[in-house]
Chain A
Amino acid sequence: MVRFGRLTDVPASFRLTGARLIDPCAGTDAVADLAVVDGVLVAAADAPRGLPTREVAGLVVAPGLCDLHTHLREPGGEAAETLESGSRAAAHGGFTTVCAMPNTKPALDDPARIAALLAGSADAAARVRVIGAATLRRDGERLVEMGALAAAGVVGFSDDGAALPTARLVRAALTYLAPLGLPLIEHCEDPSLAAGAVMRAGPIATRLGLSGWPASAELTIVERDIALADETGGWVHLTHLSTIGSLEAVRRAKSRGLRVTCDVTPHHLALTDAWVAGDRRFSWEDPDPDQPFGHALAASAAYDGRCRVNPPLPSRADALGLLAGLADGTIDAIATDHAPHPPQRKLVEFGAAAPGMIGLETALSLGLAAVDAGAFSMGRLVTALSFAPARLIGESRSLAPGGPADLVVFDPSASWTVSADALASRSCNTPLLGRSLPGRVRLTIVDGRVTFDDLASAY
């Protein structure tokens, strides 16, 4: 029986034996026992006898996953998600931390609203951190009071949904943020190039008669922001990058020592623009040799609004480039851009569908599918989902004795079928619905508290 817990639960005590412990902080990956006493990691040899013990051979223990980009939709979007449902989705997906994005209604642009959100999440099923809006009401005019928001606990600033509209505003934000040590998180999209576009430009958009979003819509903002990070010494974090060109720009910036970091979503790694035409192959699978012209569009799957996302699903070449960028470390982290929407926003004409898909509960599984396909190692996946993003927001992740138990236990060889019933999110807007994916989360522990437990049913 699956059970969800809360941050306010009593810290757990137990022993796991025979697990594969992957600890990017220590650089270790070995089979070992692990003990938790009152929520604190204890060397297995030092743990008291009589702890509840579970034999978990074949399962992986990793630091708790950390999502840099989660739309929790509170306040204002409770029909799609709430702190309760969103944090449960996080726990089900193995996440112990989620960063709530500020494009709520109203936007998270003032300290009181941020304090309220943090207070409201005190008994959630995941640790909720907050990313503040970069401008008041997210209207791209005036910067928020960044110092006050930083004091209220935000871990970064973003007008996600749009890039800051002018280079001047980016320059001002990065200059002001540099001494605060917090990032400006940019959604890289030039609205003049992206206007009217509903999918990635390319042969498939041409085939489908849908307006195409050119790669330059992302790259022009990426290059602008890198130039300004260079000039100001500020930290820019480029979120949900989707093109090879952007990665090359980030690679150059990093090689010059600039404070530039980036993330990619699971769906931009695994899915491609062919999904809009109804194809359902992952990017690493052999492509349909006849796509997109060789056969009729399938009424069952073409123009599915659940494939509409921003930035749009990439070309296969770009998706493969993103997989390589994750493998070689150009991409710092995987972030879900979990974007719940109610059915009425998705069961509409493709161009009218709200962009975005849910991702918290499928991120690890898509990553494991990529590992199975040889795109990158298990260790790299765990790092990009846990240790690396956590470090960007100042959280530690370690499996060493003495620290708080903040971890996920998952079975990489089990599979599950994505379904509305299986999802803890209030929304089920993902084209993966109905699909069997590898990897099942068995246990999620936040700061010693069990937030998700499916171990009992496994054995």
Chain B
Amino acid sequence: MSGKAPAWRHRHLLDVDALSSADLERVLELAVEMRDGDPAAHADLLRGQSIGLAFYEPSTRTRVSFQMAAMALGATVVDLGVAGSSVGKGESLIDTLRTMVRTGLRTIVLRHAMSGAPYLAAREVDAQLLNAGDGQHAHPTQALADALTLRDALGTLRDRKIAIVGDIGHSRVARSNLHALTKLGASVWLAGPPAFVRGFDAWPGICVAPLDEALRDADAVMTLRIQLEREAGGGIPSLHEYAARWGLTSERMLLAAPDAPILHPGPTNEGVEISAELASSPRSLIGRQVENGVPLRMAVLSLIGGAA
């Protein structure tokens, strides 16, 4: 494996912002090895380790993906069963996690509805924290899986134009992608209703633009899920109007580079942010994003676990 690589120096994975571009390359290379290499080569990398899943928010794909990744490395997975626990009721996040650490868990995968929760946990709990999505802030493993998917499709991200369309402001996936894509050398363009892209023009290396400009000659386009509750004074008059003005269609995609791939972190609202036709077209990488999620998380878990 990556025997000659220096020791991984990050105790936690809270967001992509803490990773250097060399770190990113290493994660992606390792994910490719995990995906394309002999499964037996890494089947025992985390043998004897226990990984706790603390998903305070419902999640299917991220939770299952972490479970599959941990099991493929030989680790034991413990679901802490905290789903549905809500802030203000019962035990605090810190008390719950501290209790888990007393049982011997040293690695915790945390999904939480509030931005910054993993930072609190990392400072107050003696465990390694992997952020599996916190509020509207970050979703680093999803962004890394997206980077892997884009690299598979484009070869490299350096100097490639990537357009992200939709509700950037409420999206943890988008934020982590902004870190990952810019660190990998891509030029990132954002488009969406004003309330959804406000403030991002201050982000270095990011260009906020009208949809047509963002899509023009884009090498890849990522669109984001529109939450239904955004209609009620939350940034758009209606989903119908959103679809008409910002929904991705084959016609709009004519502006982008020929056959530019399309990504979406899922689950999709077909007919809103993306047409059903596009979502199921050959240029859609939505399925590949999910498939890459497992080897990517294997790479992250083995690096964090000191096994790679």
Q: A residues near B, CB below 8 A?
A: 201-203, 205-212, 293-297, 299-300, 302-303, 305, 344, 347-352
Find chain B residues with CB under 8 A from A203 CB: 199, 202-203
Q: A352 — nearest CB in chain B belongs to which residue?
A: B87
Are A297's CB and B135's CB within 8 A? no
Q: Which of B104-126 contact A (CB under 8 A)?
A: 112, 114-117, 119-120, 122-124
Interface readout for B66-104 with A: 1 if CB under 8 Å, 0 if not? 000000000000000000000110001110000000000
Are A303's CB and B115's CB within 8 A? yes
Find chain A residues with CB under 8 A from B169 CB: 206
Are A206's CB and B123's CB within 8 A? no
B301 CB-CB contact with A under 8 Å: no
Find chain A residues with CB under 8 A from B124 CB: 347
Are B92's CB and A344's CB within 8 A? yes
CB within 8 Å for A207 and B203 given contacts A303-B116, A347-B94, A349-B93 = yes
Find chain A residues with CB under 8 A from B136 CB: 209-211
Give 18 A-B contacts (CB < 8 Å), ordered by A residue: A206-B198, A208-B137, A209-B115, A209-B136, A209-B137, A210-B116, A296-B14, A296-B18, A299-B123, A302-B116, A344-B92, A348-B92, A348-B94, A348-B120, A349-B120, A350-B115, A351-B115, A352-B88
Among the listed B15, B120, B199, B200, which residue makes an inter-chain contact with A350, where contact means beta carbons less than 8 Å apart? B120
CB distance from A307 to the nearest CB of B (A): 11
Q: A290 — nearest CB in chain B belongs to which residue?
A: B204
Q: Which of B200-232 contact A (CB under 8 A)?
A: 200, 202-204
CB distance from B22 to the nearest CB of A (A): 14
CB distance from A309 to the nearest CB of B (A): 16
CB within 8 Å for A206 and B199 given contacts A303-B120, A352-B87 = yes
Among the listed B17, B114, B123, which residue makes an inter-chain contact with A349, where contact means beta carbons less than 8 Å apart? B114
Which of the listed residues B17, B115, B136, B175 has the most CB atoms from chain A within 10 Å of its own CB? B115
B42 CB-CB contact with A under 8 Å: no
Are A303's CB and B88's CB within 8 A? no
Interface readout for B14-37 with A: 1 if CB under 8 Å, 0 if not? 110110000000000000000000
Are B120's CB and A300's CB within 8 A? no
Are B93's CB and A348's CB within 8 A? yes
The 6 nearest A-B residue pairs measured at CB? A303-B116, A209-B137, A206-B199, A209-B136, A296-B18, A349-B114
Among the listed A205, A299, A344, which residue makes an inter-chain contact with B199, where contact means beta carbons less than 8 Å apart? A205
Q: A206 — nearest CB in chain B belongs to which residue?
A: B199
Find chain B residues with CB under 8 A from A305 CB: 120
CA distance A11 to B116 in the complex (A): 52
Are A351's CB and B114's CB within 8 A? yes
CB distance from A344 to the nearest CB of B (A): 7
Which of the listed residues B119, B136, B169, B203 has the most CB atoms from chain A within 10 Å of its own CB? B119
CB distance from B174 to the nearest CB of A (A): 10
Are B17's CB and A295's CB within 8 A? yes
Find chain B residues with CB under 8 A from A348 CB: 87, 92-94, 120
CA distance A203 to B200 in the complex (A): 7
Are B123's CB and A300's CB within 8 A? yes
CA distance A166 to B270 in the complex (A): 43
Find chain B residues with CB under 8 A from A212 CB: 199
B138 CB-CB contact with A under 8 Å: yes
B161 CB-CB contact with A under 8 Å: no
Which of the listed residues A203, A209, A294, A300 has the most CB atoms from chain B within 10 Å of its own CB? A209
Are A293's CB and B203's CB within 8 A? yes
Are A350's CB and B116's CB within 8 A? yes
Find chain B residues with CB under 8 A from A347 CB: 92, 94, 120, 124
CB distance from A419 to the nearest CB of B (A): 18
B12 CB-CB contact with A under 8 Å: yes
CB distance from B107 to the nearest CB of A (A): 15
Q: B197 — nearest CB in chain A belongs to which residue?
A: A206
Among the listed A209, A294, A299, A302, which residue makes an inter-chain contact with B172, where contact means beta carbons less than 8 Å apart? A209
Are B119's CB and A302's CB within 8 A? yes
Find chain B residues with CB under 8 A from A297 CB: 14-15, 17-18, 119
CB distance from B148 to the nearest CB of A (A): 21
Find chain A residues with CB under 8 A from B15 CB: 296-297
Q: B135 — nearest CB in chain A belongs to which residue?
A: A209
Are A208's CB and B116's CB within 8 A? yes
- Beyond A349-B93, A350-B114, A352-B114: 8 further Cβ-contacts under 8 Å? A203-B202, A205-B199, A210-B135, A210-B136, A295-B17, A299-B122, A347-B92, A350-B116
CA distance A294 to B137 in the complex (A): 16
CB distance from B55 to the nearest CB of A (A): 15
CA distance A151 to B120 in the complex (A): 48
CA distance A210 to B17 in the complex (A): 17
CA distance A202 to B175 in the complex (A): 15
CA distance A80 to B138 in the complex (A): 34
Interface readout for B165-204 with A: 1 if CB under 8 Å, 0 if not? 0000100100100000000000000000000001110111
CA distance A347 to B119 in the complex (A): 12
CA distance A283 to B287 in the complex (A): 48
Find chain B residues with CB under 8 A from A293 CB: 202-204
CB within 8 Å for A206 and B200 given contacts A295-B17, A347-B124 = yes
Which of the listed residues B15, B137, B172 has the most CB atoms from chain A within 10 Å of its own CB? B137
CB distance from A297 to the nearest CB of B (A): 6
CB distance from B43 to the nearest CB of A (A): 32
Q: B182 — nearest CB in chain A belongs to which residue?
A: A293
Find chain A residues with CB under 8 A from B17 CB: 295-297
Interface readout for B265-283 with A: 1 if CB under 8 Å, 0 if not? 0000000000000000000
Find chain A residues with CB under 8 A from B115 CB: 208-210, 303, 350-351
CA distance A296 to B15 in the complex (A): 8
CB distance from A46 to the nearest CB of B (A): 59
CB distance from A290 to the nearest CB of B (A): 9
Q: B17 — nearest CB in chain A belongs to which residue?
A: A296
CB distance from A109 to the nearest CB of B (A): 26
Which of the listed residues A297, A299, A300 has the most CB atoms from chain B within 10 Å of its own CB? A299
CA distance A211 to B198 in the complex (A): 12
CA distance A212 to B199 in the complex (A): 11
CA distance A207 to B136 in the complex (A): 10
CB distance from B274 to the nearest CB of A (A): 23
CB distance from A1 to the nearest CB of B (A): 35
CA distance A205 to B135 in the complex (A): 13
Q: A353 — nearest CB in chain B belongs to which residue?
A: B120
Are A349's CB and B199's CB within 8 A? no
Are A299's CB and B12's CB within 8 A? yes
Q: B198 — nearest CB in chain A belongs to which residue?
A: A206
